[in-house]
Structure 1
């Protein structure tokens, strides 16, 4: 698969445990000081052992200066898209344009249903995600009262706004063929996890996205490819950097998010791995 030519970005995934609420803030400050680009927080609003993702992102954004923050990924079944659109735009305005939005169709349906959410079939989850994207974009676009006629999500003449401080992107954490084609048609980015989509499965997935993009008269290069990394691999940092550079040059992955639980891991990724990846990719390009 091609190198889509995107600028390289590096960031972290923080798991905000309720038993240690200060840890997420401490790691976020370390990531900001180390010069990373992105910070994300998993969104599991049915788990009492985790802090609420949007609350954490808001506090973290207030305690940092340069990091762009986003949920990895927002749980649509428990977060109505109209409210989510206004929440994300508000955070973007309050941070001067440092928020993005990543969406997921949903998982862990027993937990979602136990908290009063829907229990979608795969087809219903796909339709709900498609409608949610339309709702979010409608409320981010200045104009007359918005109308979206959906089965699961709808707007019936609600005023749009507030509007993000910058062109906020919508990235989808999606895996199946229908979802990948949806990304190609309407999304700004794809956010898989290496544990779910290992490197040897990237070519087939990217091909589905690219084909759908072309059919929608979009360039595949319009769609950023992000990658969640499970943690620091064994071996040297040089070898790790070469692997990430190859993912960028061969598969078009251009933003790498590392799951971290220590400031040392943050600094290693930011100061030893990220610069070397940028050097390798720049030399090949």
Structure 2
């Protein structure tokens, strides 16, 4: 059994299809909203049905604020390592340190050759990957003297200037299956990232042994290599096989992988929004609780620190280490009282209040995390609302310039800006609707069953959700006017102002009334 003591993390593995470009962006935003730690994307540059992964990641980074991003895994034969190193560092700087680097030796060689890449044998692929890691790490090492020097068999970078350095210590995770790749992972990488569907029973244990031995031979600790795993499955009312059943079954199976095979990051391969929501809201908290309980009850495992740096571990920043029970420290966001619209969707004075909290009660880390999750999701909605306002103002300024110029080119720019704004607004409105649907169908019934004193508050919150839906419909109507008439900006601004008033007021009320009940009763 192998438990390296790494804090757990959960992510999404998305398909970068280009048929509906906004869909994959919306899924990434949803992953952040529901509380996942990581969003990853396939990288197949030869696939014409896909968006370019690194361009997509840049776009997603601008639409999100906390979630980590990575290619799963980067197709190295079509991405020169020196250029890739600077792309990774640049995006890490722009995103505030939210990028990790998954790397693969290459596959689908006919397609790679068709794109101008070089076909490599398995042995050559491993050697080329080792050279690429040297190049990448040297580019990032801005404190070393001289230029980058790797005069390799496949990659030759002699004298290139170093930099920029990433904003944080970017993890290099290798998609490895065969012994030579596993040895390279143990010697040089920060993480092992296979897919469960490509593994046979016992492969995780055998792979861990190879990685651990290689790490020790290189003077490293086995815990220096984080173990990540791509997983797929189906949620169902009853169990029908591995990762095919209810969330409780998923949690037990993933917890076993964490405790027996050392996996600490689980990445769900699914483009279904409901799967992402259930994985974040039901599976992830249960896995954390099961693993924390087993670790606390096992003296040997408890001796391994669960914080970054313990036992040689290099846990990513997105990990959440456990702590002891304490008074509730999660603070609801207050309503600042600012209103932009003259319209009122409801009478705030008639809002009911819930039961007063017990001032002597303490809450476990899991309890506190559930309450914080609500605020984190709401903060994401608030941040997107701010970006929406910024985008409206930018488009407004563009209309003035275009109207002055009265040129065909500027007219086309106006049209492009309008549709860009429309797509973004529609995506944002879908995120808000999804969040409220999740509450109405899942969290609220659970809270109602746990404490019937919350019923008046929950009833009111559900009523406000319906009112917010009507406000979102008004935004949709304003968007139609905006792209079809000469001056739809005033109507659009008024609709977004009303959305801001209703949404911010509602989020503050919901946090005020539900933070403590969620900490006390849980999310599910």
Aligning the two structures, in what range does the TM-score lie when normalised by the shorter sequence?
A: over 0.9
SS of the residue corresponding to residue 280 of structure 2 reads helix
**Cα distance in 2 for residues equivalent to 1:175 and 1:234:** 24
CA deviations on 1:240-279 (whole Å, 9 max, x unpaired) are: 1000000000100000000121221111000000000000
Alignment of 1:183-222 (within 5 A): 183-222=185-224
**Cα distance in 1 for residues equivalent to 2:186 and 2:179:** 11
**Cα distance in 2 for residues equivalent to 1:265 and 1:236:** 11
SS of the residue corresponding to residue 268 of structure 2 reads strand
SS of the residue corresponding to residue 228 of structure 2 reads strand
Q: Which has the higher contact order (CA 8 A, sep 6+)?
A: 1
SS of the residue corresponding to residue 155 of structure 1 reads strand
1:190 deviates by: 0.2
SS of the residue corresponding to residue 32 of structure 1 reads helix
CA deviations on 1:105-134 (whole Å, 9 max, x unpaired) are: 000000000111101111111110010000
After TM superposition, what 4+ stretches of structure 1 lie above 3 angstroms from structure 2? none
**Cα distance in 2 for residues equivalent to 1:25 and 1:199:** 35
**Cα distance in 1 for residues equivalent to 2:279 and 2:223:** 26
**Cα distance in 1 for residues equivalent to 2:216 and 2:191:** 15
Asked whether 1:54 is paired with 2:54, we answer yes
SS of the residue corresponding to residue 291 of structure 2 reads helix
Tell me which residue corresponds to 1:236: 246
Alignment of 1:7-46 (within 5 A): 7-46=7-46
**Cα distance in 2 for residues equivalent to 1:216 and 1:145:** 25
SS of the residue corresponding to residue 243 of structure 1 reads helix
Provide the aligned C-alpha RMSD in A. 0.9
Asked whether 1:99 is paired with 2:99, we answer yes
CA contact (8 A) 1:104 1:129 kept: yes
Question: TM-score, normalised on structure 1?
Answer: 0.98
1:88 deviates by: 0.4
Q: 1:274 aligns with which of 263, 284, 287?
A: 284
Tell me which residue corresponds to 1:227: 229
SS of the residue corresponding to residue 16 of structure 1 reads coil
**Cα distance in 2 for residues equivalent to 1:217 and 1:151:** 25
CA deviations on 1:157-202 (whole Å, 9 max, x unpaired) are: 1111111000111000011101101111111000000011245311
Tell me which residue corresponds to 1:262: 272
SS of the residue corresponding to residue 120 of structure 1 reads coil
CA contact (8 A) 1:199 1:247 kept: no
Higher gyration radius (CA): 2
1:2 deviates by: 1.4
SS of the residue corresponding to residue 10 of structure 1 reads strand
**Cα distance in 1 for residues equivalent to 2:137 and 2:19:** 36
SS of the residue corresponding to residue 173 of structure 2 reads strand
**Cα distance in 1 for residues equivalent to 2:29 and 2:140:** 30
Question: TM-score, normalised on structure 2?
Answer: 0.54
SS of the residue corresponding to residue 166 of structure 1 reads coil
* Residues 200 and 220 of structure 1: CA distance in aligned 2, closer, same or farther (over 3 Å): same
CA contact (8 A) 1:229 1:259 kept: yes
Asked whether 1:141 is paired with 2:141, we answer yes
Q: 2:255 aligns with which of 213, 236, 245?
A: 245
CA contact (8 A) 2:148 2:159 kept: yes
Q: Where is the strand percentage greater, Structure 1 or Structure 2? A: 1
* Residues 224 and 109 of structure 1: CA distance in aligned 2, closer, same or farther (over 3 Å): same
Alignment of 1:128-167 (within 5 A): 128-142=128-142, 143=144, 144-167=146-169
* Residues 251 and 269 of structure 1: CA distance in aligned 2, closer, same or farther (over 3 Å): same
CA contact (8 A) 2:233 2:244 kept: no
Q: Where is the helix percentage greater, Structure 1 or Structure 2? A: 2
**Cα distance in 2 for residues equivalent to 1:134 and 1:147:** 9
CA contact (8 A) 1:44 1:75 kept: yes
SS of the residue corresponding to residue 195 of structure 1 reads helix
More divergent stretch after superposition (222-231 vs 4-13): 222-231
Tell me which residue corresponds to 1:73: 73
**Cα distance in 2 for residues equivalent to 1:213 and 1:15:** 33
